[in-house]
Amino acid sequence: MKRYGMAILIIALIATSAFSSGQQATQSDETGSSEQRTLRVWKFGGPQHEREYMLEKIALFEERNPGIQIEWIYQNYAERRTRVITAANAGNLPHVILTDGQSIPEFVQLGIVQPYEQFAPERVSVWRERFVEEGWDTGVVDGQTYGVSTYVDAATMIAYNTEMFEAAGIVDENGIARPPSDWAEVLEIAREFRSQGMAGIALPGSNAPNDVLTFQGIAYRNGGRWIENGQAQVDGPGFVDTLQFYQDLTEYAQSGYSETNFRQAMELFFQSQAPMAITMSYAPILRQSLGAPADFPYNIAPFPRRATDSGNFPSASFIMTPTVAHLVPADLPKEYEDAVIRYVDFWMTEEAQEGWSGSVIEGRLPILKANLASDGFARVYPDMAADYERGQLFEGALPMPGFPGLAESEQLLIDAFQSVLIGIETPDQALGRINPQIQQLYDAAR
Amino acid sequence: MARNAVSTFEHAQRRLSVWFVMPGFLMIFIVMGGVAIYSFDLSFRNLELLRGFSSDYVGFETYRTVLSRRETIPVIGNTLYWVSMSTILVIVLGISVGYLVSDSTNRVTRISRAVMLVPWVLPGVVVAGLWKWMYNGQNGLINKILLDIGVIEQGFPFLARPETVLPSVVLVIVWRLFPIYALVVASSIQSIEISLFEAAKMDGISPWQEFRFIILPSIKYQVLTMGVTVLIWITNNLVLVNVMTGGGPLYFSKTLPVFMYELGFRYGKLSEAAVVTVFNLIILLALSVVYLAVYRRNQRGDI
Amino acid sequence: MGIARTRTGIHGASIIRGILSLVLLCIIMIPLFWLFIAAFKTQADIQMIPVRWLPKEPTLGAFFAVWLDRTGTGALWTRYFLNTILVATVTTTIVVSLGTMVGYGLARYRLRGSSFVLTVLLVAQLFTGPALMIPVYVVTARIGLHNTLIGLIMVYVVFQTPFASWLSYSNFQNLPRELEQAAAIDGCSPLQAFLKVTLPLSKIGITTVGLMSLLLTWSEYPFAVALLETTEKLTVSIGLARFITAFNVYWNQMAAASIIIAIPVLAILIFTQRYFIQGLMAGSEK
C-alpha cells in the first residue's frame, strides 16, 4: 500500500514538472508568433518594498500592452557580474537586465550590452530631455547610452540624530541640529558620545562592497581617485587620509565594526544606539524597511569634508550609481526590439517613476526632473531639494567609478580597507600594496 | 540435485552481480573521473569569465598567481585548523555524549536522543544564519546571555575579531555534527553484548575502566569510520563559513572551499578557482589514504 | 537492540547522567528554540536592542509574508517547495536503486575488480562536496544543463551514489546468503531471490540510504546555487539564503520558512530515526 502511495506521488510530481515545462514550451511558442512577446527581465538586488512597487507598475504596463508579458526574475546582487557574463557565454541572457552603473564599462568591454542609440536613437533624445544631465550620464560610456535608470544612489552621506545633536548643543544659529562641519568635528562628536557610553558613530566596516563604496565616496570628496590618466591613484593622499580618518573613527565606533555592514549600521542608528552614521543616500529606504517610525528625528547631509582637501584631484561633491540601470544585451533578437523599447519607454515616464519621488520609496535620489521638483523629494531631503532649486544639487557630482577590472580591484580595496580597520596594516602600507596590483589589472583589461 | 540447482543459481547470481554493479559504477567512474581530470586541465589554463569562455594553456602560471596571493597561505592554515579542530571536537564530544545518552532507562537521555538529529537535519543555510545572528555583537543571543550572567560588560563581536572568528565557526559545525555522531556511538554501545558488562561488574571494575576496556574497544570501528565520514563532511563544508562570515574579517576565517567559491563565482576566475580546487583535492587525497587505511584494518584485507 | 539496560558498572551515576543530559539538551535546544520563536516575532522585535527572549506580540505575520511574497526575496515558496520535492524524490529514487544494486552486487560476490570498485567508491565519497563545483559549473554551462532541474538531479545522483553504494554494501554484507540459496532450491531466479528475499530483509539499510540521500538533497546549497539561476527553478535552500540579503535580513521569515521546510523531514524522521541510526551504525561495522 505504502509503496503504491509513493509511486503515485512520484508519478504525480513528474507529471507536474512535465506539465510546467510544457507550459513554458507553449509560452515560447507564443513568443514565436508576431503578436505575443514575453520579455524576460533580470532584477539584481534592491529592497523588497521597492520590488513590490515595480511589480505593480509592471502590471499596469502589461494591462496597457496586452501583447507583452513580463517575466520578472529576481537575482542576487552580489553575483550580478558573474551571472550576466556566464549567461552571455551560454547564450541565455534575458531581454532586459536591471543592474548597477558601475558594471556597465566591463559589460561594454566584453561586448555584452548594446547602446540605446543603436536601436532606439530617436527615443534616447526624448528620454534624455526629462533627466538631469549628471544623473543621465551615470549610464553613459564613451558617449553612448547603455543604461537608463529611474534614480541613482549617492555616496557618501552622514545621518545624524537631530534630538541627540540638539541635546548636545551641536546646532546652528537658529538652535536647530546641524551636521558636523569637518572631519575633525566628526571625530570630536564621536569621542564626546563615546565617553557617555554609547557608540560615537555607526561605522559600516564589513567586507560588503557597499561599505567600501561609502568609503570611496568620502575619498572622492577628499580629492581621491581610483584611476586618473591611466594611472592607479589609490595610494595618493585622497584615499590614504580618508582611510586614516576611518581608522581614527573606529576607536569611537560601535564594537564589531568589521562585521557591521551598511544595513546594520543604520539598524543601530535608527534604534538611537548611535548619534550619527556613515551612510549613502539610501538611508531612508533602510528606515522604511527596518520599520523605524516615520517621524524618527534625523537628517541626512553630504558627508563633511576634511578641513582642507588633501587629494590630488578636485573634490567630488558625491559619487552616484544607478542601481536599476536598464541594460539591453547585444544579442537581443530583432523581433524583441520593439517590445523592449516599449517597456523601457514606459519606465522613462513620470507616471512610472512617481514612486521614487519619495511618495512610495524614500531614499533613492531621483534624476527625473519632475521628481526632483516634487513635494515628496522636498520632504525626504529638504536640504537637497533646496540645493536642486538653486541648481547646485549635482554640482561637482561624478558617476561612481567603473572601469574594466573593477570587480577585482574592488576586492583589493576591500582587502586593504579591512586590513587597516582591524589594525594589521597602516593606510599607507595597505593602499601602497594594492596600488600596483590595481594598475596591473587595469592595464591587463585594456 | 539441490546442489546442482544452487550452483546454477550461483552462476546466474554472479552474472547478475556484475550487471548490478556496472551502471552505478561506470556512471561514478566516468563522470567523477572526467570532472576531476577536467579540473586539473582547467588549473593549467587561464580561463576567466571576464574574457569569455576561451582560454589557453599557461602551464603553472595560474598556480603561481594563486600562490602569490597573500591570503593563500593563511587560507591553507585556516583550512587545516578548521578541519582538525572540528573533527577532534566532534569525535571527543560525540563519544562522551554518546556514552552519556546510551542509557535508555533515564528519561532525560531519552528526550535528548529525540532532538539530537535536528541540528543535522536543519538546512546548512539556516544553521549558519541562525548562529551568525546569535554571535552578533549588538543583538546576538550569546552576548545577551553572557551579559545577563555578568561574564562581560559589553557585547563582544565574536565574528568580527580575527582571533575569535575561526574558533566561533568551528563551534557551529561541532554543534551541527556531534549529536549525530553521538547517536551512532550510543547505538553502538547499546549493541554490545550485555554479558561483557556483567562479567566486568563481578570483577568490580570502575566506570572509567569499564569505559576504557570494554566500551571503547567494542565501538572502535564505528568510531573510526563514522569519524572519517564526519571528517569528509567538515572538509567539504562551504555553506557555514560562507554564510556566517564570507571568510572575513579580511581572510581570517577563509577556508579553501570559500576561497574557491569566491574566486570562481564572484570574480569569474575559473582557472584560479580550479587551482584552489586542486589544493583541496590534494588535502582530500591525503585524507583518502587515511580513510583507506582505516577500512583496510576494519575489513581485514577485504579491499 | 534497544534493550533497556542500566549499565550499572556506573554506580549511582544516574543523577549525574541526568544533569549532564540536561546541559546537553540546553546546548542543542537553545539555538533551536531561538529559531523557533523568531518565526513568531515582528521585524522590529528581531532587531530590538537589548535583545528580548520572547516576542512582544506573537504574530504569524512571518509565515504569511513567506508564502504571499512574490518579489523574490522569499518569493514563490510554493514553487521552491515543489521543485525541491521533485528534485529530492527523483534523486532519492535513483540513488537508492543504483546504490542498492551496486552494494548488493559487491557484497554477494568477490569478483575480479571488486577491490578496485570499492576503492573508487571510497575515494569518490571524498569528492562529493564543493571540491568539484567549478568544473561541474563550467561543464554544465557548456552542455546546456545550466539552470535545469535535470542537471541538478544528475549532479546529485552522481555525487550521492558512492556513499549510498558503500552504505548498502556494508548492510548487505551482514545478510546471510543461505536464505537466497534456500530460495534457489524453491526455484527462484537470482533476480527473484533478490527481490523477494533479500530486499524485504534489508529494509533498515535501504531506509537509511534513502533518508541520507533525501536529507542531503533536501537542503543542499552549493550546487543548487551554482547551477540554478532563475526564480522558477530554485530550491528551498536558495530561497532560505535569500532572506539574508544586503538590504534586508528577515530572520523571522527565514525561521518561518525553515519551520515549514523542516516539518516533512522531521515527520519522516520521527518514525525512522531509530532505523536510520542503526543503519548508519551497521554501515560502519565490519
CB half-sphere exposure, A103, CA atoms < 13 A: 27
CB distance C21 to B112 below 8 Å? yes
CB-CB under 8 Å, A86 with B249: no
Q: Which chain B residues contact residue C28 at CB under 8 A?
A: 112, 115-116, 118-119, 175, 179
Identify the weakest region by mean pLDDT among B125-134, B249-258, C180-189. Answer: C180-189
Closest CB to C49 among A13, A48, A273: A273
Q: What is the pLDDT of residue B175?
A: 97
Which of residues C240 and B49 earns the better pLDDT score? C240
d(CA A334, CA A118): 12
β-pair type (A157-161, A276-279)? antiparallel
Residue A366 has pLDDT above 70, yes or no: yes
Which of residues A2 and C178 earns the better pLDDT score? C178
pLDDT band at C2 (very low <50, low <70, confident <90, very high): very low
CB-CB under 8 Å, A256 with B157: yes
Residue B128 has pLDDT above 90, yes or no: yes
Q: What is the pLDDT of residue B262?
A: 87
For A202, phi then psi, to 5°, come to -90, 115
CA B256 vs CA A408, A437, B81, B235: distances in Å? 19, 23, 12, 9
Query: Is the Cα torsion angle A82, A88, A91, A97 positive or negative in sign?
Result: positive
CA distance A207 to chain B (A): 7
Q: What is the CA radius of gyration of chain B?
A: 24
pLDDT band at C71 (very low <50, low <70, confident <90, very high): low
Residue numbers of C between 115 and 134 with CB closer than 8 Å to B? 115, 117-134
Query: Is the Cα torsion angle A281, A286, A291, A297 positive or negative in sign?
Result: negative
pLDDT digits (tens, 9 = 90+) for A300-324: 988 999 999 999 999 998 899 888 9
CB half-sphere exposure, C124, CA atoms < 13 A: 28
What is the arithmetic mean of pLDDT over C63-78?
A: 70
d(CA C86, CA B237): 24
Contacts of B221 (CB under 8 A, 6+ apart): B298, C284, C285, C286
Q: What is the pLDDT of residue A35?
A: 67
What is the arithmetic mean of pLDDT over B284-301?
A: 71
Residue C252 has pLDDT above 70, yes or no: yes
CB distance B53 to A89 below 8 Å? yes
Which DSSP helix (H) or strand (E) runs through A41?
strand A37-44
Q: What is the pLDDT of residue A30?
A: 42
* DSSP code for B161: S
Residue A11 has pLDDT above 50, yes or no: no
Q: What is the pLDDT of residue B5?
A: 67
CB distance B45 to B62 below 8 Å? yes
Q: What is the pLDDT of residue B300?
A: 54
CB of A370 less than 8 A from some CB of B: no
CB-CB under 8 Å, B226 with C280: yes
- Bridge partners, A368 (sequence order): A131
pLDDT band at A445 (very low <50, low <70, confident <90, very high): confident
β-pair type (A68-75, A37-44)? parallel
pLDDT digits (tens, 9 = 90+) for B85-107: 999 999 999 999 998 888 777 77
CA distance C235 to chain A (A): 14
Identify the weakest region by mean pLDDT among A127-131, B136-140, B159-163, C80-84. Answer: B136-140
Residue numbers of A between 88 and 117 with CB closer than 8 Å to B? 89, 106, 110
CB-CB under 8 Å, C93 with A290: no
Residue C8 has pLDDT above 70, yes or no: no
Contacts of A389 (CB under 8 A, 6+ apart): A373
d(CA A390, CA C89): 65
* DSSP code for B149: T
Residue A10 has pLDDT above 90, yes or no: no
pLDDT band at C72 (very low <50, low <70, confident <90, very high): low
d(CA C68, CA B212): 57
Query: B226-239 burial, b if ≥16 CB within 10 A, otherwise e?
Result: bbbbbbbbbbbbbb
pTM score of the predicted model? 0.88
Residue B207 has pLDDT above 90, yes or no: no
- The secondary structure of chain C, three-state, reads CCCCCCCCCCCCCHHHHHHHHHHHHHHHHHHHHHHHHHCCCCHHHHHCCCCCCCCCCCCCHHHHHHHHCCCCCCCCHHHHHHHHHHHHHHHHHHHHHHHHHHHHHHHHCCCCCHHHHHHHHHHHHHCCCHHHHHHHHHHHHHHCCCCCHHHHHHHHHHHHHHHHHHHHHHHHHCCCCHHHHHHHHCCCCHHHHHHHHHHHHCHHHHHHHHHHHHHHHHCCCHHHHHHCCCHHHCCHHHHHHCCECCCCECHHHHHHHHHHHHHHHHHHHHHHHHHHHHHHHHHCCC
Q: Which chain B residues contact residue A422 at CB under 8 A?
A: 161-162, 249-250
CB distance A153 to A321 below 8 Å? yes
pLDDT band at A25 (very low <50, low <70, confident <90, very high): very low
* DSSP code for A131: B
Neighbours of A23 (CB within 10 A): 9
β-pair type (A151-155, A144-145)? unpaired
The interface predicted TM-score of the complex, written ipTM, equals 0.87
- Bridge partners, A278 (sequence order): A158
What is the arithmetic mean of pLDDT over B100-129?
A: 84
Contacts 24+ apart (CB under 8 A), C180-186: C180/B13, C181/B6, C181/B9, C184/B5, C184/B6, C184/B9, C184/B10, C185/B2, C185/B5, C185/B6
Provide DSSP, A304-320. PBPSS--SSSPPPS-EE
CB of C78 less than 8 A from some CB of A: no
pLDDT band at C229 (very low <50, low <70, confident <90, very high): confident
For A251, phi then psi, to 5°, come to -60, -30
Q: What is the pLDDT of residue C284?
A: 65
CA distance C71 to chain A (A): 6
pLDDT digits (tens, 9 = 90+) for A160-170: 999 999 999 99
CB half-sphere exposure, B185, CA atoms < 13 A: 28
Question: In the numeric block, which cell numbers belong to residue B150?
Answer: 555578568
CB of C245 less than 8 A from some CB of B: no
* DSSP code for A249: H
Residue C104 has pLDDT above 80, yes or no: yes
CB distance A146 to A327 below 8 Å? yes
Average pLDDT, whole number, for chain B? 86
Q: What is the pLDDT of residue B76?
A: 94
| Highest-pLDDT range among A90-99, A333-342, C183-192 | A333-342
d(CA A428, CA A437): 15
d(CA A268, CA C50): 11
What is the arithmetic mean of pLDDT over A25-41?
A: 61
CA distance C214 to chain B (A): 10
Counted across chains A and B, CB pairs separated by less than 8 A come out at 91
For C252, phi then psi, to 5°, come to -65, -40
CB-CB under 8 Å, C129 with B129: no
d(CA A404, CA A110): 9
CB-CB under 8 Å, A82 with B267: yes
What is the arithmetic mean of pLDDT over A363-386?
A: 87
d(CA B46, CA B272): 8
Q: What is the pLDDT of residue A33?
A: 44
Q: What is the pLDDT of residue A378?
A: 87
CB distance B133 to C251 below 8 Å? yes
Residue A18 has pLDDT above 50, yes or no: no
Q: What is the pLDDT of residue A72?
A: 86
Residue of C nearest to B208 (CA): C10
- Percentage with pLDDT > 90 across chain A: 60
What is the arithmetic mean of pLDDT over A383-411?
A: 86
Question: In the numeric block, which cell numbers belong to residue A110?
Answer: 566584453
pLDDT band at B178 (very low <50, low <70, confident <90, very high): very high
Q: What is the pLDDT of residue C238?
A: 87
Using DSSP, how many helices (H) and how many strands (E) does chain B show? 14, 0
CA C264 vs CA A62, A265, C187: distances in Å? 38, 38, 42
Q: What is the pLDDT of residue A238?
A: 95
Neighbours of A338 (CB within 10 A): 14
pLDDT digits (tens, 9 = 90+) for A260-296: 989 989 989 998 999 999 999 989 888 887 878 889 9
Closest CB to C280 among B184, B191, B270: B184
Counted across chains B and C, CB pairs separated by less than 8 A come out at 340
Residue C11 has pLDDT above 50, yes or no: no
What is the arithmetic mean of pLDDT over B217-237?
A: 86
Amino acid present at B265: F
Which of residues A446 and A292 earns the better pLDDT score? A292
d(CA A336, CA A339): 5
Average pLDDT, whole number, for chain C? 82
CB distance A273 to A254 below 8 Å? yes
CB of B155 less than 8 A from some CB of A: yes
What subunits make at least 3 CB pairs under 8 angstroms with B?
A, C
Q: Choose the mutation target among C247, C253, C268 for the interface with A, i.e. most A CBs under 10 Å.
A: C247
What subunits make at least 3 CB pairs under 8 angstroms with A?
B, C
Q: What is the dihedral of CA B183, B184, B187, B191, to 10 degrees?
A: -160
Q: Which of A134, A138, A153, A147 is nearest to A285 (CA)?
A: A153
pLDDT band at C47 (very low <50, low <70, confident <90, very high): confident
3-state secondary structure of A69: strand
What is the arithmetic mean of pLDDT over A366-385?
A: 87
- Percentage with pLDDT > 90 across chain B: 37
